[in-house]
Structure 1
């Protein structure tokens, strides 16, 4: 019985640790989501009530890349210094390189949903763009959580 109790306690502690980590990852991700989507909407559609749209209104895919890149830098700082502060590598450049590779893949996922919506489905409204970006963001977030835990923020 002591072995079963020990295994149960270790499993419970592991689940708590992952949930705590997921919650911090979620907070950083939610703020990065605001940076990403707020930036995208400003670039493509301009300020609310403004006439003519944003300065990248004709380049929605590129605007998605710019907004996601800004959110990526925010996310790296938040995850490195808060979410995974106890797991980051000694070599910052190696960690940042792995982070950027993971986020380049995630960026392609998000931009790919916008590309599909705009160029394959012919949709170009704010609703369709934001729906495509939300779907891309969900898929990219699942990928990021896996990649950060498994490959980026590990003690070297």
Structure 2
């Protein structure tokens, strides 16, 4: 039994049905949470260190690192029953969608810093850091995450290509009793 199936077996029934129905979204969300930590860890290390004067560049590098982690986790876990393309084609599509998502993610941070001037010396350091976090790590990431989920399901890991794989690998949460047959 996988970790997800173990957790689902201990979840109350009304919620369990919803989670099973949206299993890919749940897994995608867990991968998103993991990459959120990776993204922000790398971003703050860079932005408070060697890239202090270039927060948008630091964020872009952090997003790229998190995107690589995301590809591995999404391919091998979230969407493992989908796809079916050659790996290089799938990876190329994944990184094109993710590249567009990087732009979407950076827009709120860029607007916060350079259009709204929420940066030192116009505001104090505390306001700048809160504005950076809200715009870059919450608003930008949520917009990019919604775009990625849609793009991954539509183009990178389309369901119609993964039917054979899914049929061969999916095991039911509760095995069917076939002893009476």
Q: Give the TM-score category using the shorter length.
A: 0.7 to 0.9
Q: Alignment partner of 1:87: what SS?
A: coil
Corresponding residue for residue 37 of structure 2: 34
Match of 2:135 among 132, 135, 148: 132
Q: Please report the TM-score for the alignment, with normalisation by the length of structure 2.
A: 0.71
**Structure 1 stretches of 5 or more lacking a match?**
1-13, 46-53
Contact 2:19/2:26 (8 A) holds in 1: no
Higher alpha-carbon deviation: 14-23 or 118-127: 14-23
TM-superposed CA distance for 1:18, in Å, is 4.6
Give runs of ≥4 in structure 1 deviating > 6 Å: none
Considering only CA atoms, is the larger Rg found in Structure 1 or Structure 2?
A: 2
Q: Which residue of 1 aligns with 2:109?
A: 114
Residues 15 and 24 (structure 1), Cα distance of their counterparts in 2 relative to 1, 3 Å cut = same
| Alignment-derived partner of residue 84 in structure 1 | 79
Q: 2:148 aligns with which of 132, 144, 149?
A: 144
Q: TM-score, normalised by structure 1?
A: 0.81
Question: Could you tell me how far apart the structure 1 residues matched to 2:20 and 2:41 are?
Answer: 31
Q: In structure 2, how many angstroms separate the alpha carbons of the residues matched to 1:38 and 1:128?
A: 17
Query: How many corresponding residue pairs?
Result: 135
- State the partner residue of 1:65: 60
- RMSD over aligned Cα, in angstroms? 1.6
